[in-house]
Every structure is written in structure tokens, then in C-alpha cells.
Amino acid sequence: MAPAGRPATTGAAVADAAVADRGLVACPDCDLLQRLPLVPLRQTARCARCRAPLWRHKPDSLERTLALALAAAILLLIANVVPMLGLSVAGREAFTTVVGGVVAMWREGSQVVAMLVLFAAVIAPAVEIACLLLVVLAVRRPPAPHWVATLLHGYEFVREWSMIEIMLLGVLVALIKIAELATVIPGLALFVLGSLVFLLAAMAATFDPRLAWERIEWAAGSDQGGGARALR
């Protein structure tokens, strides 16, 4: 683990220069002002006070994220069109997809819950992947136009609500609950979703938001280099 940044020294003189200094960070968890140290590859700089991870030096972040996001997009598409679970009882068979679960919940009268499941299991992962895909494509040629910032905000917002891994565990529990009543047939989508869980985790771990932000055009004019705008 890399040594944590030195706490900034007190004084107004430091503060004036501080904002122009792009190596300066304020810890998101404790607001400690500190300078990011030189971080060796694959190591994480942590906050000197609360140990929150500040930045991880990731190799080929943008290229690798692009590859993983592309793969995740394809898997998500497959996972939502092929059957996920089948049921066989007394000679009758029934299959359902993820959206099939949402539709059943809707029809049975729990529309609010149906929408929540649709959002957490389908829409949020799709938005997460799509936003990140567009962001890594757009920042390949800096400066990326400012609408990319909106996509990056969208990605950060939706990540917490994208719950494929939780849904998969839920399906597993449902499967065991049903197994005593009928024969359950696992569908292809179940395995695709299983792989997608790992892909999404890898995608989030590979992406370096700090690097992406540095390549996006500023909201307040196109002043990329100087800290003049931040200083005002």
C-alpha cells in the first residue's frame, strides 16, 4: 500500500495556490485536505486520517473498461431475451425471464414493486453499462464535450441501484423455495447473469473516474489546463 498523502500545511498562502494544484484532494469521507502522493501501479492512495481510498492507479483503465463494458452490454442483452427459470409440474411447463417476473408482479397487483424490480434488475444495469461505454469512448480524444459529464454523473448515480448480484441471489432462494413443489429447470439466462455479476464488478473496478474527469471539457468554459476558473 502506498504511503498516504501528507496533510496540507495550514495557512492562507497554501490555500490560494491549492486550487490550481490538481494533485490536491479533499477526502470525500472526512474533508481532510491533502496532496495525492505518487502512487505505484495497482496501488491505492488512502486518506491520511480516515483511510478512505482516494485514488487507485489502474493500468490501461480506459481501454480495459471499454472491453469489459462491451462484453457486459452483450451479456445483458442475452440475459434479457433468453429464459431464466423454468418450472415443470404435473406435465405443465412454464418459463420466465427477468422481465417476465416484472410482468407477473404487475399483473398480480404490485405495480410499484414491479417497477422497482424492473429498475434495479434491468434499467439501472443497462444505464450503468451504456453510460460507461459512451464515457470511455468519448474521452479517448480529450477534451470530451461537456455532455459526457452528464453521462458520468448518471453512471455514478445509478451504480448503487443496479442490483443484478442481489437479484441473482433472490432467484436462487426462490428456486429453492419452489423446488419442493415442482421441478425447477435453470435457464441459460441464469448462467449469463452469473457471468455478468463478475463482469460488472470488474468493470467498476477497472474504471478510473479521476482520469475520465480530467479529459472532459469544463462546465465553466473550455479552460482545461489552468486552475484560473476554479480559483476565480
Partner 1 sequence: MSTAGFVSARALGLAGCEACGLVVRLPAAGGVDHCPRCGERLHSRRPASIERSWALAITALVLYVPANLLPVMTTNTPLGAVSDTIMQGVVELWSPTSWPLAIVVFVASVTIPLGKLIALAYLLLTVQRGSVRSNAQRVRLYRLLRFIGRWSMLDVFVDTFVVALIQLRPLMWVEPGAGVIFFAGVVVVTMLAVNSFDPRLIWDLPQQERHGDG
- Subset of 117-146 contacting partner 1 (CB under 8 A): 117, 120-121, 146
Q: Which of 1, 17, 81, 94 binds partner 1 (CB under 8 A)?
A: 94
By the rule CB under 8 A, 41 interacts with partner 1? no
77 vs 112, beta carbon nearer partner 1: 112
Min. distance of Cβ 40 from partner 1 in angstroms?
20
Largest separation between any pair of C-alpha atoms in the chain = 80
How many residues can be counted in the chain? Answer: 232
Q: In 3D, which of 94, 52, 83, 36 has the Cα closest to residue 188?
A: 83
Task: Return the number of the residue (41 or 173) whose C-beta is nearest partner 1.
Answer: 173
Question: Measured from the CB atom, is 74 or 113 closer to partner 1?
Answer: 113
Binding mask 20-39 for partner 1 (x = CB under 8 A): ----xxxxxxxxxx------
Query: Is the CB of 70 or the CB of 204 nearer to partner 1?
Result: 204
On whether the CB atoms of residues 77 and 193 are closer than 8 A, the answer is no
Q: Which range of residues in 11-19, 56-64, 133-141, 195-203 is near partner 1 by CB under 8 A? A: 11-19
Contact residue for partner 1 among 45, 79, 85, 130 (CB under 8 A): 85
Pick the piece of the chain touching partner 1 (CB under 8 A) from 64-72, 114-122, 136-144, 199-207: 114-122
- Which of 37, 27, 52, 41 shows the shortest CA–CA distance to 4? 37
Phi, psi of 227 (to 5 degrees): -95, 10
Beta strands in 118-207 (DSSP E): 183-186
Cell of 63: 481501454
Strand order in the sheet with 92-96: 92-96, 85-89, 183-186
